[in-house]
Amino acid sequence: MMRRFFTLSLLLVTAISVSAATPKISVKHVEPLSWWVGMNMPLQLMVNGEAISQCDVKILPEGQGVSVSATHKADSPNYLFVDIAIENDAVAGEYILRFTNGKRKYDYKYTIAERREGSRERLSFTNADFVYLIMPDRFANGNPENDSTKYTAEKVMRSNPGRRHGGDLQGMIDHLDYIADLGATAIWSTPLLLDNENGASYHGYSCSDYYMIDPRFGTNALFKEYVEECHKRDLKVIMDIVPNHSSTSHWWYKDQPFEDWTHKWDSYTQSNWTFSTNMDFNASKSDLYQMESGWFDRSMADMNLDNPYLLRYFQQWAIWWIEYSNLDGFRVDTYPYNEKMPMSEWCQAVMEEYPNFNIVGEVWTSSIPQLAYWQGGNYNKDGFNSNLKSIMDFPLHDALRSAMCESGDCGWGQGMTRVYDVVSHDFVYHDLSNMMIMAANHDTDRIADVCEGDLRRMKIVHTLLCTMRGMPQMLYGDELMFRSTDRSKGHPTLRVDFPGGWAEDSVNLFDRAQHEGDMKELFDYTRHLMNWRKTKEVIHSGKTLHFIDRDNTYAFFRYNEESVVFVYINNSNDTKRVPWSRYSEISAGLGEGRDVISGETVNMNDMSVEPMSALIVEFTR
């Protein structure tokens, strides 16, 4: 009897020992969230869970063209990178990722779907588009119930310009007709992904989860619906993304897969923000390293794209959002602060998946040669090719804004000569059609503030946006002369709420019937030009011929074989007679033209332009 009891006790102890040595399997995250048959990019899953690296993994059912081809351990035992082979004729559907560690197993459902028909050949934004920039938190509150959530740190406080105000995806959807009627053909919104910082999280540039729409904006499904609603109105959708840095509130921050997943310093070190170090033959390696590896802000962990697993993660993340939501383009924040060679590979991977896709990078510099360096295909002396299709034209932005502060008689090189000088450097750029031009965005002073609320100057600005080469972009509300509430307090006060976007607003400026005075005149003028521009191939892709004058005027022609558009800007305080004969190399034989604003026929040999105003005339050859 004693021997039998001892045997049973030994078996029990052995069972307990086996159980203790075989920990329970948990899977917290699997990213990408899903995938598709027929993709160019090979699938590599990042799996996160306690001690998950101890597990073997296979995919079920077998024999369907989907299998595990390799697994890779990270520095942290709580990560496993799993390569999934998907044959071109694989069966789409729901699969099981089976994790095992000895006698335990854990099944995780994973979807491999069919691709949307024509997905690879999707078109993107081009110079035929006019881009409307929205800051979602400040645009419209379509669902007050999600203003604050128990899952997010910062709560709504509309009275504070630096806090969340409650704008969301539903609010954007509710006012798409306003944007389409204005004449925009594409929407760029600042980031919509989760930003779970304790303060100033409304801007979205400190991502806490790359696969999750911030619940205060909505859900992944609602974002997909937003894209669908935009497409119904012939509006393209450009997603704003930030591979350079993530939030320190990201779920991976305290337990990173690899030691070099983010850049680490002995003490907090910011970037030196000198991205000329990327192309400067004389720059020190230490300056380049600090530029790339220094942090943008204390709450923004600088990502290390030299880590191949992180690079693959970001490539797949970008492709996942395109395929999942049917996107039309990307805007990449703080582009030159990333490691440049991995980012070139990132762009290449996206373009190989979607050959017609467009990506515009924020390269904030007033240096034309430095800006040109970052556009894909540029003839750089060091042989570097960014594979970045489009760049933002900050030199033109700076010149235009400076010119608007210099009315009347100007010194040499001032006023409209500044704009002429920037355009005279167009020979530096590889592809003028892929330049995004703007007078303001969410990070700059409102253009109406720069113009001091002067309707005449605002009309000049919008005339230039609608007629110059490149892809124009306008910040929400600039069509209505929105101004900052207090310029001394920085960015939060220029990111004003759109009146009418909240139920308690006393004025609704989404309703054209409520526009009055200068606001109404500017809106009508801008709307007319933006809608006129939609069908003007000569503006989209025509060449430019411009003429130098030193009297604070600027004359240029956009032309092709069929059409000519003449633009004359009088930024002075005097009435100017258009010197038509001076332009004889292109004007000879044009005959009468049509004033684009009034619709009237005009004789250019007897035309004068009032102070602080613009003239746009179109001709048929």
Instruction: Indicate whether 58 belongs to any domain.
Output: yes
Number of domains composing the chain = 3
Domain boundary among 535, 555, 573: 535
Please indicate, yes or no, if residue 107 is contained in any of the structural domains: yes
Return d(Cα 185, Cα 389) in angstroms, integer: 19
- DSSP H helices, 406-474, are 417-423, 447-450, 455-467
pLDDT of residue 472: 98
Q: What is the pLDDT at residue 18?
A: 42
pLDDT score recorded for residue 20: 52
pTM equals 0.95
Q: Say whether pLDDT at 126 is over 80.
A: yes
pLDDT at 10 over 60: no
> What's the half-sphere exposure (Cβ side, CA atoms, 13 Å) at 332?
28
Please say whether the beta carbons of 81 and 47 come within 8 A: yes
Residues 138 and 109 in one domain: no
| pLDDT score of 499 | 98
For residue 349, being part of any structural domain is answered with yes
Distance CA 607, CA 605 (A): 6
In which band, very low, low, confident or very high, does the pLDDT at 95 lie, cut at 50, 70 and 90?
very high
Average pLDDT over residues 76-95: 98
Query: Using 50, 70 and 90 to split pLDDT, how confident is the model at 93?
Result: very high
Tell me how far apart the alpha carbons of residues 195 and 193 are, in angstroms, rounded to a whole number.
6
How far out from the chain centre does Cα 304 lie?
20
Do 163 and 46 share a domain, yes or no? no
Mean predicted lDDT score pLDDT of the chain: 95
Q: What is the pLDDT of residues 17-68, one digit of tens each?
A: 344 567 789 999 999 999 999 999 999 999 999 999 999 999 999 999 999 9
pLDDT of residue 411: 78
By CB atoms closer than 10 A (0-12, 13-18, 19+), residue 274 is middle
Residues 527, 544: one domain? no
Of the candidates 195, 323, 333, 479, the residue annotated as catalytic is 333
Domain's final residue, options 535, 560, 594: 535
Query: In angstroms, how far is CA 319 from the centroid of its own chain?
Result: 15
Looking at the fold, whether 516 and 556 belong to one and the same domain comes out as: no
Q: pLDDT of 260-294, one tens digit each?
A: 999 999 999 999 999 999 999 999 999 999 999 99
Give a yes or no: residue 403 inside a domain: yes
Residue corresponding to tokens 């600088």? 302
By the 8 A CB rule, do 216 and 193 touch? no
The answer on pLDDT for 308 being more than 50 is yes
Same domain, 573 and 607: yes
Across the range 200-229, mean pLDDT stands at 98
Mean pLDDT, to the nearest integer, of 315-326?
98
Of the candidates 360, 430, 353, 436, the residue with the CA atom closest to the CA atom of residue 394 = 436
Residue 601 lies in a domain: yes
Looking at 113, 145, 166, the residue that finishes a domain is 113
Print burial letters for 471-500: b (CB count within 10 Å at least 16), e (below 16). Answer: bbbbbbbbbbbbbbeeeeeeebbbbbbbbb
What are the residues whose beta carbons fall under 8 Å from the beta carbon of 212, sequence distance 6 or more? 193, 194, 220
Range of the domain at 33: 29-113
Res 312 pLDDT > 80: yes
Q: What is the CATH number of the domain that holds 52?
A: 2.60.40.10
Q: 61 and 174, same structural domain?
A: no
If asked whether residues 460 and 346 sit together in one domain, one would say yes
Region 306-325: mean pLDDT is 98
**Options 323, 362, 478, 497, the catalytic residue:** 362
Q: 333 and 478: one domain?
A: yes
Average the pLDDT over 113-127 and give the result.
97
Q: Does residue 204 share a domain with residue 180? A: yes
Q: What is the pLDDT of residue 520?
A: 98
Mean pLDDT, rounded, for 153-165: 97
Mean local confidence (pLDDT), 574-599: 96
Which DSSP symbol is given to 164?
Answer: B
Calculate the dihedral angle through the C-alpha atoms of 8, 10, 16, 22, rounding to the nearest 10 degrees: -120
Q: Which residues 6+ apart lie within 8 Å of 181 measured at CB?
A: 527
Collapsed DSSP state (helix, strand, coil) of residue 30: strand
> Of 17-31, 145-159, 225-239, 400-414, which gets the smallest average pLDDT?
17-31
Q: What is the CATH number of the domain that holds 609?
A: 2.60.40.1180
CA-CA distance, 97 to 118, in Å (whole number)?
Answer: 29
What is the reported pLDDT for 102?
A: 87
Return d(Cα 408, Cα 49) in angstroms, integer. 67
* pLDDT of amino acid 507: 98
Does the annotation mark 333 as catalytic?
yes
Contact 182, 529 (CB under 8 A): no
Whether the bond between 472 and the residue before it is cis, its omega within 30 degrees of 0, is no
**Residues in CB range of 30: below 8 A, 6 or more apart:** 45, 46, 47, 48, 97, 108, 110
Q: Has residue 12 got a pLDDT over 80?
A: no
Does residue 249 belong to any structural domain of this protein?
no
439 and 344 co-located in one domain: yes
- Please state which of the ranges 268-272, 406-410, 606-610 shows the lowest mean pLDDT: 406-410
pLDDT digits (tens, 9 = 90+) for 451-486: 999 999 999 999 999 999 999 999 999 999 999 998
- Residue 233 sits in a domain of what CATH number? 3.20.20.80
Comparing 3 with 567, which gets the higher pLDDT? 567
Is residue 596, in this structure, part of any structural domain at all?
yes
519/547 same-domain check? no
As a whole number of angstroms, the distance between CA 183 and CA 128 comes to: 12
- Are both 391 and 517 inside the same structural domain? yes
Residues 6+ apart with CB under 8 A from 281: none
pLDDT recorded at residue 21: 62
Answer yes or no: is 611 within a domain. yes
